[in-house]
Amino acid sequence: MNIISTNPVTNSVIGETNTSSPEDIHQKVENAHSVQEDWTSLGVTGRVDILRDVLRLFKEHLDEIGVLSTQSMGMPSSLRHTLDLDAGIEYFEWYLENALESLKPEISFEDSTSLNTVFYEPTGVAAVISPWNFPFCTFIWQVIPNLVVGNTVVFKHASECILVGKLIEDIFSSSKLPKGVFSEVYGGGEVGDILIHEDIDLISFTGSTTVGKHIASVGAEKLIKVLLELGGSGPGVVFEDADMDKVAEAVFFNRFANSGQICDGLKRLIVHKNIADKVGQILVKMLQSKKVGDPQDISIDIGPLASIKQADGLKEQVDDATSKGAKVLIGGKKPASLSEAFFEPTLLSNLTTDMKVWQEEVFGPVLPIVTFESEEEAINLANDTVYGLGGYLFTEDKDKAERVATKLKTGMISVNGTLYLHPSSPFGGYKKSGLGREHGKYGFHELCQLKVVATEK
Ligand code: NAP
């Protein structure tokens, strides 16, 4: 059976590929095992040398990947370099430049007679499963560090961007990477499910919390390491002294860019009561200046959602809010002039915490706004979620920012829009946003076995 990729704007088929059979999947895992020792024995420097060739090829094919991503999941062509392609390359380069330093042995104990040295060793064969929202970046974030530390990888991309996945495999095949070190399987969740039940040593999963829980249960049964990067409902707290330009820019990039399909995005705006009207007006004006439409048009700021299914789910969340009394400041529905996968950029006020837009992850261009009076109330609202991925604070008072940052139950916090995203900084979440961290030495170490060797002096 074939798996089909459709363009969310036109709903037309853009390509297809064969679904991997259980036998294919099994074979790829076996191949990954058979080359794992050789891949490990190259050492960090040997692996990095080969991966430099892979990097060169990805740079050559970057535009092709971008065009396919826009066609498959609707990322605006005006933003795809900033949001996905260039970011992916930046991380890839960082991993290669910093591998040796991050993975060098460390002395954990030393006295006059003995020395304990910690070695970072590969874990083995990693099953890596990605979502569709950043088709290039998430693949880079999950796969390249595994290869750097010496794991071999069997990868499954999301069905929405199966053609990007196919191109990724073709690029690897034309590189100097030994066969079997990276391979790919194709299909929906059922293919991912077969993969994680295979004889693997590690699962690296990025996606929804619902599927993440299932992955964790399979990992628990096998007693293997599971790294989970899951959903989020990032709070953005706007204090009275906030710089409004910084708020508007951060709200666009962290909520509306990529049609709001950003895991660690700013998904609930918590604004001081005295400035709520002003913030609402500024954000309405900002959104009125943005163009919504075909993401292939370079002048478009906001494209469709990745699929009609995503847009329908979003509509259900917004309808639930309005039926319970939320006020629509702008947007609120699917635009009549565009196809079914679009949803108007939307701001909602008059929120109550029983609404789905407050309680669930909202994966689309919709921002609920609530108000607060005291710092304590703002912190309680910010933490009133099962998630804990990104958090955003807006204030010119550095002490206040530091104080509140220590109280937020999130893995990452941005103050006044300053990005926490950097290849050397850990990425990941508290609570139901996941387990473990990606990036930096922290991310490399998550993928390794630690071995201590005690020697006489
Ligand atoms: P999803 O439904 O959980 O799917 C993610 C991946 O898992 C896809 O490749 C999917 O395959 C596969 N999958 C589905 N069921 C599976 C199963 N039973 N066993 C193994 N694999 C299975 O998530 P999504 O809707 O694609 O992505 C959106 C979610 O990802 C959001 O919640 C977002 O916040 C989260 N996300 C988190 C991060 C982070 O770093 N924390 C980054 C990006 C996205 P198919 O697509 O083929 O069904």
Say yes or no: 274 and 404 in one domain: yes
Strands 430-431 and 387-388: what pairing? antiparallel
pLDDT(1) > 80? no
Please, are residues 447 and 202 in contact by the beta-carbon 8 Å criterion?
Answer: yes
For 283-294, write each residue's pLDDT tens digit: 999 999 999 999
Q: Hey, whose CA ends up nearest to atom 13 of ligand 1?
A: 189
SS3 state of residue 97? helix
For 225-273, write each residue's pLDDT tens digit: 999 999 999 999 999 999 999 999 999 999 999 999 999 999 999 999 9
Q: What percent of the chain has pLDDT over 90?
A: 99
The total number of residues shown for the chain amounts to 457
Q: What is the CA radius of gyration of the chain?
A: 23
Using the 8-state DSSP alphabet, how is residue 111 labeled?
Answer: -
Would the CB of 19 count as within 6 Å of ligand 1? no
Say yes or no: 221 and 340 in one domain: no
pLDDT score recorded for residue 333: 97
What totals of helices (H) and strands (E) does the chain contain, helices first?
Answer: 17, 20
Question: Distance between CA atoms of 241 and 266, rounded to whole angstroms?
Answer: 19
Give the Cα-Cα-Cα angle 208, 209, 210 (nearest 5 degrees).
90
Q: Hey, whose CA ends up nearest to atom 23 of ligand 1?
A: 207
Domain holding 139, by residue range, is 2-230+433-456
Please, are residues 390 and 412 in contact by the beta-carbon 8 Å criterion?
Answer: yes
CATH number (domain holding residue 271): 3.40.309.10
169: phi then psi, degrees, rounded to nearest 5:
-65, -40
Would the CB of 251 count as within 6 Å of ligand 1? no
Mark whether 37 is an active-site residue. Answer: no
With CA atoms as reference, report the closest residue to 146 among 424, 443, 451, 442.
Answer: 443
Please, are residues 158 and 131 in contact by the beta-carbon 8 Å criterion?
Answer: yes
Across the strands, what pairs with 413?
Answer: 391
Say yes or no: 359 and 299 in one domain: yes
Q: Does residue 1 or residue 114 have the better pLDDT?
A: 114
With CA atoms as reference, report the closest residue to 133 among 192, 74, 47.
Answer: 74
Would the CB of 267 count as within 6 Å of ligand 1? no
Say yes or no: 197 and 304 in one domain: no
CA distances 225 to 20, 139, 228, Å, are: 25, 19, 10
Cα 130 to middle of ligand 1, angstroms:
6
Q: Is the pTM of this model over 0.95?
A: yes
Q: How many domains does the chain have?
A: 2
For 2-30, write each residue's pLDDT tens digit: 899 999 999 999 999 999 999 999 999 99
For 153-193, write each residue's pLDDT tens digit: 999 999 999 999 999 999 999 999 999 999 999 999 999 99
CATH number (domain holding residue 174): 3.40.605.10
